[in-house]
Amino acid sequence: MSKVLSKVKNGFLAFVGFIINAVWGFLCDCARSLKAFYSDYRAYILTVFTLGSLALSVFYFQYSGQRIIEGIVDFGTSISYYFGCVYGMEFDISPTVLEFSKFDFEKAIWLPFTWEEFLVLWEHYWEVWATWENVQAYFLWLGDLLFYVSQVALMVSPLIILLVLFFRRYLSTENTDHNKDSKVMILHRKFTHKVLVPVKTWFKEYFEFIKFHGFWWKSFLVIWLYNFNLIGITVELLAFYFFFVASFDFATIYGQTVKLLVDLSVAIFTIPVWGWVIIGFVIWELIAYKMGYNNLQHSERKNRGFINERSLITFVCGTMGSGKTTAITDMALSESVEFHDQAYKILLDIDFEFFRFPWQNFQEWLKTLFIRHVIYSPFTCKEAIKKLHYWFNEARKHPENAKAIRRYLKKEYGYKWSISNPFDYDIDHYGGKFWNGVLEVDLWQDLEDYTQAYLIYIMTSSLILANYSIRTDERIIDLGNFPVWDSNFFRKERHRIIKSHHAHILDFDMLRLGKKIIDNNPNFYAFGIGVYVISEIDKERQNALNLQEIKASALECNQKNDMFNEMLKMVRHATVIRNVPFVHFFVDAQRPEDWGANARETAEVVHIEDKCEARVLLPWFSPWRFFEFIYDWVYGKIESVYVDYSVIRGDNTFLVWALKWLGAVFKHHYERTYNKFGCVVLKLGLESGRLEGDLLSKKYYLCFQKIYKDRFNTAAMAGFFAKIAKHADIGLNDLPEYAETTATDDELAKANSHFYRRIAKYSDMVESEATR
């Protein structure tokens, strides 16, 4: 007995020792972190602010504490009421949430507490509203307001006149003192370097300091949530929720709204007017930005709808500068995202067909095959599954060889699961067939489709093949399980281009069934899935008229013997997975007729008929709205003053610097918003490749944030011209000019024109005959 007692005693002492040790350790940790915290003098400022807020909680915002206690009581009675109603239990408690606060709050709002009182007031309101006296009183008040505004304007106007006079004085003296600062400017620069920049840096570092010490800013936040009664409101909201879902008494909503306003009045009256202006502006901006981003996403969805409606070859035509290459680039970017989405849909469909199949194992295996370069095209995907299927059948037919087959599969294919049950899927128990209502789908067929779709899904390089460079920046997020794509073209945060891919170089030999430029070109065999983009297809393929002299029997590869057109007509067959073709050609040219009809008629022709004026999809900003009106006015004025100044003077004066700074603030905001939310609508006319019938009107949205983010170079083929230009010893300035408005014979001869040479030939003949 004594032994047991002593064991209990020892155990108890050990437990107490452990607790004391843990508490001591915790206290030591706290002391250490506090010591580290207070080693920085900024910690004292933060502490003063936090303790000051806490003092306000105790001495000024007592109402908040009282309301939390009331809220907890209300919550308790509401819960009792809820269980009483829902489970038929009898409690002799009435929900106190319906009662108003017992504590008087001096800044309570003036709304009546009951609905009946409110109705009386409501009637009275409209009676007053409709009286002529009230209208007169309103305009009198407005007149008073305008009087004060004009008084302020009167006080400010001499300053403006003074500014104008200053400018006049500036502009009356010319100088070429380049970058020389005026006296005020020197003072300003000193003030900026010695005061403004250090203060700005201090505040920046102080906010970083606060951000780093999470405990302190969170405590500060909680104190002010308490002060402004928001904790009490949350508890009351929960109390009313439980009362309402049990009672559905809509008549109580008015009373609760008044109660909420009374509770909010703490914040409403404590925060000063300028505080509310800032809060209002921030809320306004948040709503506007949310709507702006929704508009951008909506435009992108409409574009995807347009592309999905198209056939496999989309031929965009338009004049120079109409934006046809921009349009096909934008379409290719969207289609590349669409391919990922389509592949994802196939993966999910198959996943649910055999929902018991351990897809995680299968995905792991596919990743291994992808890394080992066993699967790299739809064909290799099919082959891998076919081989696996074959070896599984062999193992079943000859169980004595199962172990050897498993060893072989592990070595060659990295397969590490059961040999009797593929990927540990109990095929005998759960079955290997799925009846889809029309067909009996085989598991192995599904695995083939899954592998092909998975290959498209996890390929991190671009799905675009083009005859010019296109940059893509979709990001794959892979935590080691099923990866997801972040394909959002519109980002709220400042998104720097860190990692991106570029389109693959389109080797035209890939698209030639017949003769090729490089015999036995290995790239030819790589033809398959992808978004193919060909700019200036007319110059590449030409039409029958241009190819008159070209013979199909020629030894060299040409447009008549390369069987490009035949390939184009059959592309679908190489790229279909579960009836979804993973191929799309986007091509462009200036005139549709310039591309031979044989190939063109396989395409849909999209004419760019018009390009609307760019508009900003951010609400309350768009060209005809408020901000641009102010921007145009302010920036216009500043720009004209600045240009005048920079023509006449070369030095720096403070006033012009200040104006330029203001102009830059406006311009930067305008430029950023314009680039983020700008959108041009292309008005398109759609017709078949046979170029007959009426044009069908369509729209396509070019959003700047998507297409002008260094996606492609509008001078994509500048490389060729650079090769020519590097040999040039003369520039435009060195070329001879005409001496007068009538060109001389010698000057015309310098034009090296076919036309002038022809005329010169006859005029020379006439001259020689005349002299003879």
Partner 1 sequence: MKKFKQFLYVLLILAVALFIGYFIFTITVL
List contacts with partner 1 (CB under 8 A). Answer: 121, 124-125, 128-129, 134-135, 137-138, 141-142, 623-626, 628-629, 632
Name which of 623 and 719 has its Cβ closer to partner 1: 623
Name which of 145 and 156 has its Cβ closer to partner 1: 145
Name which of 124 and 290 has its Cβ closer to partner 1: 124
In the complex, least distance from residue 668 CB atom to partner 1, rounded to whole angstroms: 21
Name which of 116 and 764 has its Cβ closer to partner 1: 116
In the complex, least distance from residue 594 CB atom to partner 1, rounded to whole angstroms: 37
CA distance 393 to 419: 10
CA distance 457 to 441: 22
In the complex, least distance from residue 614 CB atom to partner 1, rounded to whole angstroms: 13
In the complex, least distance from residue 680 CB atom to partner 1, rounded to whole angstroms: 17
Name which of 129 and 147 has its Cβ closer to partner 1: 129
In the complex, least distance from residue 291 CB atom to partner 1, rounded to whole angstroms: 18
Q: Which amino acid is at 198?
A: P
In the complex, least distance from residue 613 CB atom to partner 1, rounded to whole angstroms: 9
In the complex, least distance from residue 200 CB atom to partner 1, rounded to whole angstroms: 35
Q: How many other C-beta atoms can be found within 10 angstroms of the C-beta atom of residue 647?
A: 10
In the complex, least distance from residue 253 CB atom to partner 1, rounded to whole angstroms: 21
Name which of 110 and 274 has its Cβ closer to partner 1: 110
Name which of 124 and 372 has its Cβ closer to partner 1: 124
Beta-strand (E) ranges in 318-427?
Answer: none
Q: Cβ(329)–Cβ(335) under 8 Å?
A: no
Cβ neighbours of residue 635 closer than 8 Å, sequence gap 6 or more:
663, 666, 667, 670
Name the pairing type of β-strands 313-317 and 583-589: parallel
Name which of 130 and 155 has its Cβ closer to partner 1: 130
Task: Report which of 102, 112, 56, 374 is spatially closest to residue 226, judged by C-alpha positions.
Answer: 56
In the complex, least distance from residue 129 CB atom to partner 1, rounded to whole angstroms: 5
In the complex, least distance from residue 257 CB atom to partner 1, rounded to whole angstroms: 16
Token output for 567 = 């390939």
Task: Report which of 720, 713, 710, 633 is spatially closest to residue 670, judged by C-alpha positions.
Answer: 633
Q: Cβ(41)–Cβ(48) under 8 Å?
A: no
Cβ neighbours of residue 433 closer than 8 Å, sequence gap 6 or more:
440, 441, 442, 443
In the complex, least distance from residue 675 CB atom to partner 1, rounded to whole angstroms: 21
In the complex, least distance from residue 281 CB atom to partner 1, rounded to whole angstroms: 16
Name which of 131 and 714 has its Cβ closer to partner 1: 131
Q: What is the 3-state secondary structure (H, E, C) of 48-79?
A: HHHHHHHHHHHHCCHHHHHHHHHHHHHHHHHH
Name which of 138 and 355 has its Cβ closer to partner 1: 138
* DSSP class of 181: B
The DSSP string of 271-310 is S-HHHHHHHHHHHHHHHHHHHHHHHHHHHHHHHHHHHHHS
CA distance 83 to 90: 9
Q: Which amino acid is at 545?
A: L
What angle (nearest 5°) sits at the alpha carbon of residue 589, between those of residues 587 and 592?
100
Q: What is the 3-state secondary structure (H, E, C) of 719-770?
A: HHHHHHHCCCCCCHHHCCCCCCCCCCHHHHHCCCCHHHHHHHHHHHHHHHHH
Task: Report which of 343, 384, 351, 367 is spatially closest to residue 578, judged by C-alpha positions.
Answer: 343
The answer for 316, left when phi > 0, alpha when psi is -120 to 50, beta otherwise, is beta
* DSSP class of 97: G
Name which of 134 and 192 has its Cβ closer to partner 1: 134
CA distance 176 to 182: 13
Name which of 30 and 146 has its Cβ closer to partner 1: 146
In the complex, least distance from residue 660 CB atom to partner 1, rounded to whole angstroms: 25
Q: Cβ(707)–Cβ(697) under 8 Å?
A: no
In the complex, least distance from residue 127 CB atom to partner 1, rounded to whole angstroms: 10
Name which of 125 and 166 has its Cβ closer to partner 1: 125
Q: Cβ(611)–Cβ(683) under 8 Å?
A: yes
CA distance 75 to 701: 52
Residue with tokens 């009898």: 90
In the complex, least distance from residue 533 CB atom to partner 1, rounded to whole angstroms: 36
Name which of 357 and 666 has its Cβ closer to partner 1: 666
* DSSP class of 527: -
* DSSP class of 158: H
Name which of 121 and 751 has its Cβ closer to partner 1: 121
How many Cα atoms occupy the beta-carbon half-sphere of 266 within 13 Å? Answer: 26
CA distance 359 to 364: 8
